[in-house]
Structure 1
Amino acid sequence: MIQRFLMAAAGLALAMVTGAASAQDYREALVEDGVLTVGTSGSAPPFSMTTPTGDLAGFDVDVATMLGEALGLEPSFEKLDFAGLLPGLTSGRFDIIASGVTRTPERLASEDFILLSPYIVNGVAITRRAGDDEITGWDTVCGKVMGAVRGGTFQKIALEQLPADCVTETREYPGATELFLDLRNGRIDFAAHDFLGPNYLLKSGQISDVVVLDDLLATITQSVAVNAGNEPLANAIDTQFAAWRDDGTLQALIEEWFGASIDWSAAE
């Protein structure tokens, strides 16, 4: 009995030392001591958006704030157009990017940053004007003008999976706000975007006169990207994500922001 107690005590002490060392490891490589520096777009509702008072809000802002609390760090947010976020992370400007980053094979294989396990399951969808009955699904977009967010992956997935020369004209925008404004004004015929985001904008009354089609070209997963020079931070956040997937924390946050439940079996 005494031997088992001593072994357990030793194991607990080792775990505490290991945990402390791990925490020290990710703290040593932070952009700023004691601070979790977060890059986000502020223009991808409801992942990351700017309120009328200039404050940041959204699913990613909540996730990053919760991560800061869990890791004992103070979150500090920096806004940048989505196209500049990954280069900014690679250059060491941020510790993490929290802005609905899609987990593509190319990004998962990158040595420039570490893309973590899924925190949400989403899809590549069409958003079109409400009165445009010619577009009923992905098989009807050939010859149409496609719009997308600059630096995103939805247009890339669309162009890879649609027939060659199907879409010959595309226009890119700094964020979703500009994208959907041009869609409503008729400068593009449809937006290649995610499924959850535009649905949120419609339900919250932030956009109107558009329709999000439920014909998904692909199922995607999204997550947070971490500076490649701080693998201990990536491991700590991934461990936290695993716990939050298991205990329902991420599901509750998704339902709060998107009004949808997630089939985690699609997450890889």
Structure 2
Amino acid sequence: MVDGLKSRLARAAAGVAALALAFGLGGCSLATPSLDEAVDETPAQAIADSELVQAGTLTVALDTSDAPQVITGTDGELVGYDIDVATALAENMGLKVSFVNATSPSSALEGGEADIYLGATASDESDDISTEGEVLQNATAIFGINTGSTSAASTTVSASDLTSARVGVQDGSASQEALARVNVVASSTYSNVNECFEALAAGEVDYVACDATAGGYLARSYEGVFFAGTISSSTSYGIAYLSSSSDLADEVNNALDALATDGTLDAIHQVWYGPVPLSLSNEVISGVTLSTDESASDDESASSDGEPTITEDINSLD
């Protein structure tokens, strides 16, 4: 990993520490793999300029409104998990990186605006668009909080625990629907995920149900918050290419494999999503049974209600 990404991760981790101090959360910690022993080197360019939209540059399309995967700072700079993953991919390939905003792969790739689209799902595939690799998983998750007098064993949560607990959720969200599918009725509803976590920290609810990435992002700022598991099928997000760009796809996939193998991907994930594991496939809470058609219904719910609604509050966290 080269200096550029290490510097970005250090700034992100420092931002979390500063936030904890600002809110009086001195006990909040962010455990991330050490980057000090990473080898600093500049790899040779892995792909010919003729395969790229811009010479010497990996041009990455992504949805810049998809917080917290991408967050626009007050200075206009893009930060977030997707930004750091794209930067790491480019650096591994010996390339610079640039970003363009796009809500779907087709417009950016078919229009020649970008080389890849980061954050694609299988539903984005077509005759002209291929999706490969996995950079992120997401699902409806449950978060709890431990106080100083609470045993660490309480981080183990079952479906029966949820039915008798006070659970907070964003009103009208896909997470509220996911709770209903596992026969849990939220005791309190809020207008956004930020308010859910404020209620959790204040002791107004025992658990929060929300999008795993949004919850993991916010959990970093509250002492004692833990990830309990998921209550829905996980959705996989990968990288989309033009189907004709097979050489580029091969090189990007090689770079992604390298990041997964050397721990870089996990390090970036821990910086941005704290306690949430990189893979959610085996994190379903005990006693929760997922229906066979749940993945399709989750995708439809997420697109229809925009869950989770991330207000400007989440942008102020870093």
Name the TM-score, length of structure 2 as normaliser: 0.49
Paired residues, number:
189
Matching of residue 222 in structure 1 with residue 237 in structure 2: yes
Identity %: 27
Q: Which amino acid aligns with 2:127?
A: E
1:137 CA drift (Å): 0.6
Q: Which amino acid aligns with 1:88?
A: A
2:100 pairs with 62, 65, 78, which one? 78
Matching of residue 128 in structure 1 with residue 169 in structure 2: yes
C-alpha contact 2:131 2:240 (8 A) present in aligned 1: yes
Matching of residue 59 in structure 1 with residue 59 in structure 2: no
Is the alpha carbon distance of 1:93 and 1:138 closer, same or farther for their aligned partners in structure 2, counting shifts above 3 Å?
farther
SS at structure 2 position matched to 1:72 = coil
Counterpart in the other structure of 1:166: none
CA distance in 1, matches of 2:219, 2:277: 17
Is the alpha carbon distance of 1:135 and 1:239 closer, same or farther for their aligned partners in structure 2, counting shifts above 3 Å?
closer
Render the CA deviation track for 1:185-214: whole Å, top value 9, x for unaligned. Answer: xxxxxxx97422244146448xxxxxx995
Counterpart in the other structure of 2:135: 119
1:43 pairs with 65, 72, 77, which one? 65
Render the CA deviation track for 1:202-228: whole Å, top value 9, x for unaligned. Answer: 6448xxxxxx99553211221222233
CA distance in 2, matches of 1:110, 1:258: 31
CA distance in 2, matches of 1:180, 1:86: 30
Counterpart in the other structure of 1:95: 115
Is the alpha carbon distance of 1:129 and 1:261 closer, same or farther for their aligned partners in structure 2, counting shifts above 3 Å?
closer
C-alpha contact 2:130 2:240 (8 A) present in aligned 1: yes
1:136 CA drift (Å): 7.8
C-alpha contact 1:125 1:193 (8 A) present in aligned 2: yes
1:196 pairs with 213, 219, 237, which one? 213
1:255 pairs with 270, 273, 281, which one? 270
C-alpha contact 1:46 1:201 (8 A) present in aligned 2: no
List 4+ stretches of structure 1 deviating above 6 A.
none
1:231 CA drift (Å): 1.4
C-alpha contact 2:53 2:115 (8 A) present in aligned 1: yes
1:88 CA drift (Å): 1.9
C-alpha contact 1:121 1:219 (8 A) present in aligned 2: yes
CA distance in 1, matches of 2:242, 2:81: 21
Matching of residue 31 in structure 1 with residue 53 in structure 2: yes
Structure 1 or 2, whichever has the larger Rg, is 1
CA distance in 2, matches of 1:111, 1:195: 31
Greater share of helix: 1
1:57 CA drift (Å): 0.3
Q: Which amino acid aligns with 1:86?
A: S
1:242 pairs with 257, 265, 269, which one? 257
SS at structure 1 position matched to 2:253 = helix
Is the alpha carbon distance of 1:239 and 1:265 closer, same or farther for their aligned partners in structure 2, counting shifts above 3 Å?
farther
Q: Which amino acid aligns with 1:234?
A: A
C-alpha contact 1:59 1:253 (8 A) present in aligned 2: yes
- In structure 2, runs of 5+ residues without a counterpart are 1-43, 143-167, 184-190, 197-208, 283-318
Counterpart in the other structure of 1:167: none
Matching of residue 231 in structure 1 with residue 253 in structure 2: no
Render the CA deviation track for 1:81-132: whole Å, top value 9, x for unaligned. Answer: x2x443222322211112x33x33x33x5332221211223224698338x9
Name the TM-score, length of structure 1 as normaliser: 0.57
1:63 CA drift (Å): 1.1
- In structure 1, runs of 5+ residues without a counterpart are 1-19, 142-178, 185-191, 206-211
CA distance in 2, matches of 1:77, 1:253: 18
